Amino acid sequence: MKAAAIQMISTPRVDENLMQARALVAQAAQAGAELIALPEYFCLIGLRDNDKLAIAEPLADADHPATASTPMQHLLAETAKEHGIWLVGGTLPIRAPDSDKVYNTTLVYDPQGRRVARYDKIHLFCFDDGERRYDEATTLRPGDEPVAFTLTDRSGTDWRIALSICYDLRFPELFRQLGAAQPLDLIVLPAAFTDTTGKAHWELLLRARAVENLCHVLAPAQGGRHENGRTTFGHSMVIGPWGEVLAVQAEGPGIVLADLSLARQQQVRSQLPALQHRVLHAG
């Protein structure tokens, strides 16, 4: 199956970001991608952290997302249907009931434009090095449920896919839990890694998660200098089950394409049956 990670440098203007996202998805679909993933906050990186609160949407009905209050969800559903692709919609701010905060949410749509999965970011980023400070808990409510779903590709083959977002990458127990009942074939991780943490840990952690789970990783990211002065690390990647980087783009908007192979994954797992050798299990 061919997969694509979309890289963007999102702006404070939602319409502009949605237009660019739609164009990049179309480009990836024309190149043959069956699964396409947008980056975290593809819809908006505001001048202030709380700008996301103003554009937050209620969660749309899964079968009828076309309402005036959910235009971003409608666009994702229509884009998936238009191109006949599986679309991982980066992340959107989704209103949290009885709260002035929002969830940072990944929504997945099938080739018919139906929402098939929702994941709310569990681990909220916090960082302070004396020069830069981030604390997502000031605007976000954390999710509490790990999510994986099954994708059936055009050949009729099923893929078990885990959803995760940015800072989740640092918590290997999340992926162990997701793969406990059934081994994962792919981890999808939309991100907006800071330049500082990205230079130090982004590729290292992505490859580690691939090696630990002997599965593929698809990591679309924000990549460049934003209007609020923040620089995101980029380096959107597709990684194979042996930890090899199959494709990468360092900076700037674009698409990162690669072929994912379950045959290669099975070969790796046969040669190194580490998943069968686990002795300690969570719970």
**What's the pLDDT tens digit per position in 76-120?**
999 999 999 999 999 999 999 888 999 999 999 999 999 999 999
Q: Residue 44: what residue type?
A: L
Q: What per-residue confidence (pLDDT) applies to 224?
A: 97
Q: Residue 280: what residue type?
A: L
Tokens of 67: 């309402």
Q: What per-residue confidence (pLDDT) applies to 61?
A: 86
**Catalytic residue selected from 34, 40, 57, 136:** 40
Distances (CA, A) of 73 to 64, 93, 97: 10, 11, 18
Tokens of 130: 């004396």
φ, ψ for residue 172, nearest 5 deg: -60, -25
The domains located in the chain, with CATH, are 2-277 (3.60.110.10)
Say yes or no to pLDDT of 202 above 70: yes
Q: How many CB atoms lie within 10 A of CB 71?
A: 18
* Residue 40 annotated among the catalytic residues of the structure: yes
Say yes or no to pLDDT of 38 above 80: yes
Express each pLDDT in 132-188 by its tens digit: 777 898 999 999 999 999 999 999 999 999 999 999 999 999 999 999 999 999 999
Q: What per-residue confidence (pLDDT) applies to 281?
A: 77
Nearest CA to 275 out of 115, 283, 266 is that of 266
Q: What per-residue confidence (pLDDT) applies to 83?
A: 98
* Residue 43 annotated among the catalytic residues of the structure: no
CA angle 18, 260, 181 (to 5 degrees): 95
**Catalytic residue selected from 52, 121, 136, 215:** 121
Tokens of 251: 């900076």
Tokens of 213: 């789970």
What's the whole-number mean pLDDT along residues 122-127? 91
Sign of the alpha-carbon torsion through 84, 90, 92, 94:
positive
Count of residues making up the chain: 283
Lowest mean pLDDT among 29-33, 148-152, 274-278: 274-278
Distances (CA, A) of 250 to 31, 77, 96: 20, 29, 34
* Residue 121 annotated among the catalytic residues of the structure: yes
**Catalytic residue selected from 57, 101, 166, 215:** 166
Q: What per-residue confidence (pLDDT) applies to 282?
A: 63
